[in-house]
Amino acid sequence: MGSVRLYAAVAAGSFRRYATYRVATAAGVFTNTVFGLILVYTYLALWDERPDLGGYDQAQAVTYVWLGQALFAALAIQGGGFENELMERIRTGEIAVDLYRPADLQLWWLASDLGRMLFQLAGRGVIPFVFGALFFPMALPGDVGTWAAFLVTLLLAALVSFGIRYLAALSVFWLMDARGVMQALMVTGIFCSGMTLPLNAFPDALGDVVQALPWAAQLQVPADVLMGESAPLGAFAFQAAWAVALLAAGRLLQSAATRRVVVQGG
């Protein structure tokens, strides 16, 4: 019970920490709204040419855009969450201090990242989404059940997102330089999460592949549940399977990595 309180405190601290950057949050809201506008117009033109592309109608395509902008910062889709800090701590060796703490490394960072996500969802996500709903026709469900299912997919998406970035961060134990890893996170995140185009609108075989990868759990799956395109239970199963696999892989890599740590005496 005591440890639950510890991780809750870590999450709350992280939430508060991000909440102090008020101007940066407002600036982020502005940027996400601008990018959402640009994307909405391109999608509308695209769906004008090909109505029903990927099984979406125009309202669904618009909803997808604004959901992507709402989740972009929260799920750190192109990176930029806790992992930057962890990679820096591994690179500088400060990680040795973290390993002495009477807390689990993975849970500690998960709690901290969940706190960050929660703030960025509320602080940076809601306004662009509401803006989109006010000025563009969107396909939003009217029943509470679908919204509840959507919230579950968001939580699972958060776990998958964390799982991917934790693995990426731990790789710095071997690579030493984080820049390549961060670039890889950006490329895979933007492309495979469907930030450029919904994954179901990708051409045939490529579409099948990206929809089976874990990145699909971050934007495509929550969007499809919200818009009633896929059944919640199947969606939960897909996300949960990836979350478990990634978190377990993170555990394994963590124990391999921490055995490598050599504390240099001063």
Partner 1 sequence: MGETSRLVDGVRAYLLIAGMWIRAGMTYRVSFVVTVLGNLLLSGLDFVGILLMFSQVDSLGGWTLPEVAFLYGLSVTAFGITDLLLGSSEGLGARIRDGSFDTLLVRPVPVLAQVAADQFPLRRFGRVIQGSLVLGWALFAVDIDWSAPKVLLVPVMLVSGAVIFGAIFVAGAAFQFLAQDAAQVQNAFTYGGTTLLQYPPTLFGKDLVRGVTFMVPLAFVNWLPASYVLGRPYPLDLPTWVTFLSPLAAGVCCALAGVVWRVGLRSYRSTGS
Cβ 32 to partner 1 shortest distance, Å? 9
Q: In whole angstroms, how large is the CA radius of gyration of the chain?
A: 19
Q: Kindly tell me which residue out of 34, 209, 233, 237 binds partner 1, with binding defined by CB under 8 A.
A: 34
Closest CA to 59 of 138, 142, 141, 136: 138
Which two structure tokens, joined as six digits, stand for 234? Answer: 């199947």
DSSP summary character for residue 228: T
45 binds partner 1 (CB under 8 A): yes
Interatomic CA distance for residues 146 and 228, integer angstroms = 8
Helices (H) and strands (E) in the chain, counts: 13, 0
Q: Kindly tell me which residue out of 6, 19, 46, 96 binds partner 1, with binding defined by CB under 8 A.
A: 46
Compare residues 41 and 174 and give the one whose CB is closer to partner 1. Answer: 41
Which two structure tokens, joined as six digits, stand for 195? Answer: 């930030």
User: Quick one: angle between helices 2-19 and 105-120, nearest 10?
Assistant: 40
Compare residues 177 and 208 and give the one whose CB is closer to partner 1. Answer: 177
Closest CA to 68 of 182, 235, 210, 215: 215
Cβ 49 to partner 1 shortest distance, Å? 4
Close Cβ partners of 159 (under 8 Å, ≥ 6 residues apart): 110, 239, 243, 246, 247
12-31 residues in contact with partner 1 (CB under 8 A) are 21, 23-24, 26-28, 30-31
Q: Kindly tell me which residue out of 8, 41, 126, 147 binds partner 1, with binding defined by CB under 8 A.
A: 41
CB 90 within 8 A of CB 236: no
Compare residues 16 and 101 and give the one whose CB is closer to partner 1. Answer: 16
Cβ 223 to partner 1 shortest distance, Å? 17
Cβ 26 to partner 1 shortest distance, Å? 8
CB 32 within 8 A of CB 114: no
Interatomic CA distance for residues 198 and 219, integer angstroms = 9
252 binds partner 1 (CB under 8 A): no
Q: Which part of the chain contacts partner 1 (CB under 8 A), choosing from 34-42, 110-118, 160-168, 214-222?
A: 34-42
DSSP summary character for residue 124: I
Can you spell out the DSSP letters for 84-104?
A: HHHHHHHHHTTHHHHHHSSS-
179-198 residues in contact with partner 1 (CB under 8 A) are 179-180, 183-184, 186-187, 190-191, 196-197
209 binds partner 1 (CB under 8 A): no
Compare residues 184 and 261 and give the one whose CB is closer to partner 1. Answer: 184
53 binds partner 1 (CB under 8 A): yes
Positions that interact with partner 1 (CB under 8 A): 21, 23-24, 26-28, 30-31, 34-35, 37-38, 41-42, 44-46, 49-50, 53, 177, 179-180, 183-184, 186-187, 190-191, 196-197, 201-203
